[in-house]
Amino acid sequence: MQIPSQILMQSNSRVFLRSGLIEKNERKTAFRVSDVRESIIKKAIELSPENPGALDEPSFLIGKICCQAEYAY
């Protein structure tokens, strides 16, 4: 599956933040991809050191189905 990198990072940021894979800054209510990009990359490497990109497609699909901006909690 070919996913543009910016869209992939937007989806990953929602999924990783909402699932608790990366920590939120409790003082912030909105996050930009640039705020969490490094945390996402580090967590992906931690979870799958052999192939961090293996998390991209599942994370994208979860984000597409369950984590749209309009469904934010």
> Tens of pLDDT along 17-30?
888 898 876 556 66
CA distance 73 to 41: 24
- What is residue 47's predicted lDDT score, i.e. its pLDDT? 93
Largest CA distance in the chain: 36
The CB density around residue 61, as the number of other CB atoms within 10 Å, is 14
CA distance 7 to 26: 24
CA distance 71 to 73: 6
> Per-residue pLDDT for 4 more than 90?
no
Could you give the number of structural domains in the chain?
A: 1
Q: Is residue 26 domain-resident? A: no
Task: Show the domain range for 46.
Answer: 1-11+33-73
Q: Is residue 65 domain-resident? A: yes
Q: Which two tokens stand for residue 33?
A: 């991809």
How confident is the model over 24-65, as pLDDT tens digits? 765 566 667 777 888 889 999 999 999 998 988 898 888 888
